Structure 1
Amino acid sequence: MAKNAHLYVLDTLADWEPGYLLAELNSGRYFAEPGTSLPVRTVGATAAPVRTKGGLRLTPDLTVAELDPADSAVLVLPGADTWLEPEHEPILAKAREFLAAGVPVAAICGATIALGQAGVLDDRPHTSNDPGALAQFAPRYRGAAHYVAEPAVVGGDLITATGTAPVEFTRAVLDRLGVLRPSTLRAWHRLQTERSTESFVALMDSLPTPA
């Protein structure tokens, strides 16, 4: 598995929203193919460091101009308070390029509003924090007929989620990528939601046996 996962980083990035997903992709600890992973590389509007909501200083590995869908397994767009600033328009155009190339784009919380404003949600099943929020903050949004009131929605290669559903977001992206056994993914989700000993045992039992 030679490709990377790419995370767009911007000021006020909501650290907790992509956290579950990034940990599983980068570590590959539960992947169906032992010893593989999708290393996470960060992408910025520029090469300048950004500051997350949690106060972390992140320096992008590459810029939007250097990002190529052919080198990526998924583009992750996290929530942030700064999404509607003009400097992020290039990554929204890049998201369109990813979707046209059949490479998944996964957006959560504020990133879904930015995609709505950019017209990316107009003809695809999607969700967001609230349809009213889309109407208010993304006046160019025309996708109300495709809005689905669920924590996470998969619309082909586009995965969207509300800001309160990082676990469901992670499950949807891992499912779309097909990197976990179905039984492992079910057990992983069960562990995150039940937090029981039985669910942890089920997760361990679902893993492939080392060669």
Structure 2
Amino acid sequence: MKKEVLVFIFNGYADWESAYICSELNELETDYIVKTLSLDKEPKISMGGFRIIPDYDISDYPKNFSMLLLIGGYAWMKQKNNAILPVVEHAVKHHISVAAIRNAANFMAENGYLDTIRHSGNTLEYMKSQAPHYKGDSNFLQKQAVCDSDIITANGTASLEFAREIMLYLKLKSVEKIDEWYKFNKLGFYKR
């Protein structure tokens, strides 16, 4: 039976930020399968216009999932996703990895999850403006993506690096194959 990775979706989620990692996780030869989670079971429409019916809502998700992906979008800035906090709490308490990109990283910062670990985000100034209770300034790294203590963070321009960190964390492939995959997707077929 495949291990479930839950991707939190909501109206206006940034669909491209999870595209690279979800397609890799759903490969036939992996031990993983992607399932969607939302605050309710109503269809959600991504920034790109994809209409998705969530597999689970916050009242019926499986408690033994393998990872929680928090994808960016403007709803985080308006505190419309705060009801996901108990799921994040469950994951952290049970040492289940949480991967957060762009504004979702600010949500993690605002709720104290990044105060004592190395992390990234759009910029330190932006994170502080979006997360007034954040106390992790000294642990902020100017890197595309960072993994520390079961939490992966990335900025909004780092979909590939976000995917790479998740693949490395889950040992989805050998380090060499992950590096090869990353370079191919980053650089393409042709050099400029």
TM-score by length of 2: 0.93
Q: Partners in 2 of 1:100 and 1:172 — Cα distance?
A: 21
Q: Which 10-residue stretch deviates more, 153-162 or 59-68?
A: 59-68
Q: How does 1:50-65 map to 2 (within 5 A)?
A: 50-65=44-59
Contact 2:30 2:172 in 1 (8 A): no
- Is the partner of 2:54 in helix, strand or coil? coil
In structure 2, stretches of 5+ residues that fail to align are none
Q: Partners in 1 of 2:49 and 2:189 — Cα distance?
A: 32
Contact 2:2 2:33 in 1 (8 A): no
Match of 2:27 in 1: 27
Contact 1:96 1:120 in 2 (8 A): no
- Is the partner of 1:82 in helix, strand or coil? helix
The answer to whether the aligner puts 1:172 opposite 2:165 as a matched pair is: yes
Note closer, same or farther for the CA distance 1:94–1:103 as it changes in structure 2 (3 Å cut).
same
Contact 1:25 1:38 in 2 (8 A): yes
Contact 2:114 2:136 in 1 (8 A): yes
Q: Deviations over 1:62-90 (max 9, x none)?
A: 111222441x1111110010014444223
Tell me the amino acid that sits aligned with residue 173 of structure 2: L
Q: Deviations over 1:80-127 (max 9, x none)?
A: 100144442231232132122111111100100111111211122111
Q: Deviations over 1:22-80 (max 9, x none)?
A: 0000124xxxxxx334111100011111111111111111111222441x111111001
How far the C-alpha of 1:13 sits from its partner, in A, is 0.5
How far the C-alpha of 1:7 sits from its partner, in A, is 0.4
- Is the partner of 1:164 in helix, strand or coil? coil
Q: How does 1:18-97 map to 2 (within 5 A)?
A: 18-28=18-28, 35-70=29-64, 72-97=65-90
Q: Partners in 1 of 2:41 and 2:80 — Cα distance?
A: 13
How far the C-alpha of 1:147 sits from its partner, in A, is 0.7
Q: Partners in 1 of 2:31 and 2:124 — Cα distance?
A: 35
TM-score by length of 1: 0.85
Match of 1:139 in 2: 132
Which of structures 1 and 2 has the bigger CA Rg? 1
Q: Partners in 2 of 1:10 and 1:42 — Cα distance?
A: 10
Contact 1:75 1:105 in 2 (8 A): yes
Report % sequence identity.
28
Aligned-CA RMSD value: 1.6
Q: Which 10-residue stretch deviates more, 76-85 or 153-162?
A: 76-85
Q: Which 10-residue stretch deviates more, 185-194 or 80-89?
A: 80-89
Q: Which 10-residue stretch deviates more, 82-91 or 171-180?
A: 82-91
Q: Partners in 1 of 2:148 and 2:142 — Cα distance?
A: 13
Q: Partners in 1 of 2:63 and 2:95 — Cα distance?
A: 9
How far the C-alpha of 1:195 sits from its partner, in A, is 1.4
Match of 2:175 in 1: 182
Q: Partners in 2 of 1:165 and 1:73 — Cα distance?
A: 22
